[in-house]
């Protein structure tokens, strides 16, 4: 087995620095020097026990470059934040060696290539944010192995295929953001099993079919975005609800209009204008009571 120490971490970070082709504020250029301890470099945090690099945060530095394979040698890394830079290219396969990772934020860069299946071997991962890049392919089936996952944000990429039904098996999942991609097929019914969901964004895709009514049973859900798809709303209204000679036709028509109003309020383009899920449940229960009374 290869012995690793802080020198291994220093070598990995210097390899990353060598791949940076633009550092306009000279943040790494001036700080990341072999003359000083790695643990004192900007953006680097070392653990008190092993004195190994446990956190790398070089977000919002306007850096341009690629991620080298050597980054996989930062085996004590728990948190990786490269967000809001101009990194590009594919993620190296060697990142699969970072088995301690709990937090990954690569958002607002220019990364490309398929969403890596090796994310699925990072069994301690809690937060994975890849939004606003150019990732493609589909969500790998190995993602179902990340039982600790709490946040999955793939917003505004080029990811397609069907939303895997296994995604509903993530019992700790609180934030699922898949908006602005190329997902097809229907909304998986299994999402109703993700009972901890607080935020669900499936907007601006190519989803079809009915909106599963079971999603309304997600008691913790506070934000739902399903607009700009090809989903069917009208089928939420029973075709036998209204008959030509119905004595309560006017009242039932009012209920139908109320149901459609709720649906429209869920699909408002501006997030701030969308109705809260608790209000949706309350309004639908009120309509149900009115229908029963007819």
The mean pLDDT values, 10 residues at a time, for the chain of 294 residues are 76 97 94 95 94 97 98 98 98 98 98 97 97 97 93 98 94 96 96 94 93 85 88 54 53 66 68 68 70 64
| Contact predicate 240/231, CB 8 Å | no
Return d(Cα 264, Cα 261) in angstroms, integer.
5
Coil, strand, or helix at residue 78? coil
Strand 110-114 to 223-225 pairing: unpaired
**Residues making up the chain, counted from first to last:** 294
Residue 166 buriedness (CB in 10 A; 0-12 / 13-18 / 19+): middle
- Tokens in use for 153? 């944000």
Is residue 191 within 8 A of residue 167, CB to CB? The reply is yes
In the block, tokens 């607009």 appear at 227
Note the pTM of the prediction, 2 decimals: 0.81
Q: How does DSSP classify residue 174?
A: -
Where would I find the H helices in 96-197? none
**Quick one: pLDDT at residue 210?**
86
Where are the domains positioned within the chain?
6-231, 233-294
Candidates 3.30.450.20, 3.80.10.10, 3.90.76.10, 3.30.10.20; CATH matching 6-231 = 3.80.10.10
CB 214 within 8 A of CB 193: no
pLDDT value for 271: 64
DSSP per residue, 1-39 = -----HHHHHHHHHHHHHTEEE-TT-HHHHH--TTS-GG
User: Which ranges of 109-197 would DSSP assign to H, the alpha helix?
Assistant: none
**Do 83 and 109 contact (CB within 8 A), yes or no?**
yes
The pLDDT of residue 272 is: 66
Q: Round the CA-based radius of gyration of the chain to a whole number and report it.
A: 24
Across the chain, how many H-helices and E-strands are there?
4, 18
CB 162 within 8 A of CB 139: no
Give the containing element (helix H, strand E) for 291. Answer: helix 277-293
Cα separation, 269 vs 262, whole angstroms: 14
CA distance 108 to 115: 15
Q: What is the model's pLDDT at position 32?
A: 97
What per-residue confidence (pLDDT) applies to 212? 85
């Amino acid at each position: 087995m290869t012995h690793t120490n802080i020198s291994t971490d220093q070598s990995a970070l210097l390899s990353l620095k060598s791949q940076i082709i633009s550092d306009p504020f000279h943040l790494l250029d001036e700080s990341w020097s072999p003359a000083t301890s790695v643990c004192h470099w900007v953006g680097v945090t070392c653990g008190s026990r092993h004195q190994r690099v446990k956190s790398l945060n070089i977000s919002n530095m306007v850096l341009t470059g690629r991620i080298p394979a050597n980054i996989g040698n930062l085996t004590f890394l728990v948190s990786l934040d490269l967000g809001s830079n101009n990194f590009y290219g594919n993620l190296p396969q060697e990142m699969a060696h970072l088995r301690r990772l709990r937090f990954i934020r690569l958002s607002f860069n220019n990364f490309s290539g398929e969403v890596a299946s090796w994310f699925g071997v990072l069994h301690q991962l809690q937060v994975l944010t890849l939004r606003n890049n150019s990732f493609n392919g589909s969500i790998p089936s190995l993602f179902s192995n990340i039982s600790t996952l709490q946040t999955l944000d793939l917003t505004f990429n080029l990811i397609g295929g069907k939303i895997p039904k296994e995604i509903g098996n993530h019992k700790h999942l609180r934030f699922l953001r898949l908006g602005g991609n190329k997902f097809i097929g229907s909304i998986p019914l299994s999402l109703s099993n993700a009972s901890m969901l607080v935020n669900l964004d499936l907007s601006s895709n190519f989803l079809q079919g009915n909106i599963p009514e079971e999603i309304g049973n997600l008691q913790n859900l506070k934000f739902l975005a399903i607009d700009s798809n090809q989903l069917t709303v009208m089928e939420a209204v029973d075709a036998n609800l209204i008959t030509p000679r119905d004595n309560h036709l006017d009242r039932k028509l009012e209920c139908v209009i109320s149901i459609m109003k709720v649906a429209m309020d869920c699909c408002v383009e501006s997030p701030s204008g969308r109705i809260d899920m608790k209000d949706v449940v309350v309004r639908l229960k009120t309509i149900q009571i009115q229908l029963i009374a007819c």
